[in-house]
Amino acid sequence: MRALQQPAHNARRSGPGLGSNGAPASGAGRAALNRTGAIVLRQLYLLSGSPARIVPLFAWVAIDIVLWGFITRYLNSVTNSGLNFVPALLGAVLLWDFMVRVMQGITTTFFEDVWTRNFLNFFATPLKTSEYVLGLVLSSIATSLVGLAVMLILASAVFGLSFVVYGAMLVPFLLVLFMLGIGLGIAGSAIVLRLGPVAEWFIWPIPALLSPFAGVFYPISTLPGWMQYCARLLPASYVFEGMRAVVSSRSISIPNLLLGGALAVLYIFLAGWFFGYIYRHAVRNGLIARYSAEGPG
């Protein structure tokens, strides 16, 4: 019962990461960093002690790169269009997989706490929801960078794909995809927090459902009109449209970059607000009890 009362107390005292416990600003800041770091440290301990958790960080992305790498080689060998399918298709797969890794880095870390019924234990401490979410994001950065490194090594060494020739022009678009992955991961975690552990099966298909609208492999202009309107709401659509322009003409589209980045930042703020709102709702209505070790399944 104390475990259920304490999160409610934290929620009233500081909300979703706001407020102060009366400590000096510098000391409170260090304490917040320590609590956030503890979330990341726990995830690192889980990874270091379990090869079954380490292998998925790079296994699935490696399979995707190998599969699409051979597809692009085959297409290059049977077509005379002069188009090099390696940057057009394999590069798109690499970037989309990176976004998916970022999203799943957040949701999987959250699911670990759900599966082990450890989520409620965090909030029996002074941990704020903003600090917890930041810990999820930092954990995702670490795990997604592992996947990105593996993809870059495979794509470059085996299939000759190199982003170096495009220089820093691609970095902003990669950052937009990174922010989109963060927003999707936080929102997906909030959905599971609201609907319960069984709702995780709603989260895994999200990247596949979004990919037709994102224009990963084709221009947005090929989509029907209603799908084009939906695509304009996705930061990823501006990324892949802009990157196709970079690959073909090596000129960056500033409007696409700014609009995609603005949408991604907006979605991160909305996702953070949504997670905080769902957490407070779960505390007020007792739904948080299902995440306790003694709670119902």
| Residue 209: other Cβ atoms inside 10 A | 8
In a domain, 258, yes or no: yes
In a domain, 11, yes or no: no
Tell me the C-alpha to C-alpha distance, in Å, between residue 30 and each of 25, 33, 35, 243, 244: 9, 5, 9, 40, 44
Confidence (pLDDT) at 13: 43
Q: What is the mean pLDDT of each run of 10 residues along the chain (297 residues)?
A: 44 44 63 86 83 84 90 85 77 91 92 84 83 92 89 86 71 91 95 87 92 91 93 93 78 82 96 93 81 55
In a domain, 285, yes or no: yes
pTM to 2 decimals? 0.83
Confidence (pLDDT) at 16: 45
In a domain, 296, yes or no: no
Confidence (pLDDT) at 90: 86
Per 3-state DSSP, what percentage of the chain is helix, strand, and coil (rounded to 5)?
80, 0, 20
In a domain, 41, yes or no: yes
In a domain, 17, yes or no: no
Q: Which domain holds residue 116?
A: 2-6+24-291
Contact in structure between 91 and 173 (CB atoms under 8 Å) = no
- Domain count for the chain: 1
